[in-house]
Structure 1
Amino acid sequence: MQPPPNAPTTARPERLRAAWRAAHEPVEGVSRRMRLVACAVPLTVLPAGLWRLPAAFDPGIGIGERAYIVFLSIFSEAVAFTAFGLIARWGEVFPRWVPYLRGRRVPVSAAVLPAALGATVLTLLWTVLTLTTQIMGRTIRGGKLPDDFPSRAGGWDAVSFYVCYTPLILWGPLLAVLTVAYARRRRRGAP
């Protein structure tokens, strides 16, 4: 007797586990330290996204602003997750779902150039933003921060803001470390 079409099967959890392993398990030659760095990248972004999400439920903002807040939080985390490509198989061989490229080796420069550019931009962005808004107390345009800006509000609002946004300063440097390790590993293993 066959199970009904909507009945859960044991094959589904196995496929999910296999997909999880394929996305996260490092390839041969990746050190434990680089695995930890790859895991740290999405964790540096997560607190800021979680800090922003309650604002999406503020009744005083419009639906477009709500959508933007949710999108920004999810998009930031998805971009941070791509750091796993610098240690996992899908960063060395195109996955089977990529048309025309499936199974082919990813050129080293196709991974290193965007990762290095991203690391540079993130490092500069968060360094400049931190210096500008937190230390100098001004926005990039030179005006004063609003009095209700979380870092100027004081109290627990300021504490939660700093605790959640400070890890973003590490995003660029951690990505740079992964990028250098990826480039060295791939060039060492190149035929």
Structure 2
Amino acid sequence: MPRINTLPGVPRWVALAAHAVPLVTLPSGLWRIALVVGLPVAAEPVTGAGETLYVLSLTVVSEALALLTLGLVRPWGETVPRWIPLLGGRRVRPLAATVPALLGASALFGLYGWVGYVQVANLASGGITATQAQLWLLLLCYIPLLAWAPLLTVSAIAYHRRRA
């Protein structure tokens, strides 16, 4: 098996969990990019600069937040990189990483419930897809997101146990 570059003392399963987070967010981001560029992935294309900016921003922000999970198993999650002004070289307090990570995971768990409710309501009105192929592609791209919150939770708890 290939070696994952992490800190000493990080169990392999935790490193795998943290590295999986950006991968489980990627398919939904690719689906949103396909929507913006006009590929037939939904019933209605994205129209307007504001909507395009929103969809692309959602993709960039979600992937950036997912990449932050790597800090729970990498050196920059324990010591702020030197190139960051004012904070570079300082140790990261365990709660400064753990609390935001667990709050983020809690928000994701809450979002799952809300999105599930909205999707059930949308199915009654036709949903955002027009064909079965579009629906299956949407599901294929968005179902991996369900792993984000549990993976982030176990990574954050393992980080806190290791550091505290």
Q: TM-score range by the shorter chain?
A: 0.7 to 0.9
Pairing 1:77-96 to 2, within 5 Å after superposition: 77-96=63-82
Give the deviation of 1:138 after TM superposition: 1.2
Question: What is the DSSP-based 3-state SS (H/G/I as helix, E as strand, rest coil) of the residue aligned with 1:26?
Answer: coil
The aligned counterpart of 1:133 is: 118
* Alignment coverage as a number of residue pairs: 155
Structure number with higher relative contact order (C-alpha < 8 Å, ≥ 6 residues apart): 2
Query: CA-to-partner distance for each residue in 1:44-85, whole Å, 9 max, x for gaps?
Result: 111111111122123761122222222211221111000000
Q: TM-score, normalised by structure 2?
A: 0.86
Pairing 1:4-23 to 2, within 5 Å after superposition: none
Pairing 1:96-175 to 2, within 5 Å after superposition: 96-130=82-116, 132-134=117-119, 137-138=120-121, 146-150=125-129, 153-175=130-152
The aligned counterpart of 2:34 is: 54
The aligned counterpart of 1:11 is: none
Distance 1:117 1:148 in 2: 30
The amino acid of 2:37's aligned partner reads F
Distance 1:127 1:83 in 2: 22
Report which of the two structures shows the higher radius of gyration computed on alpha carbons.
1
Question: What is the DSSP-based 3-state SS (H/G/I as helix, E as strand, rest coil) of the residue aligned with 1:138?
Answer: helix
Question: What is the DSSP-based 3-state SS (H/G/I as helix, E as strand, rest coil) of the residue aligned with 2:121?
Answer: coil
* 1:40 to 2:20 alignment: yes
Give the deviation of 1:100 after TM superposition: 2.0
- Contact map agreement 1:35 1:87 (CA 8 A) in 2: yes
The amino acid of 1:28's aligned partner reads P
Aligned Cα root-mean-square deviation (Å):
1.9
Percent identity between the aligned chains? 41
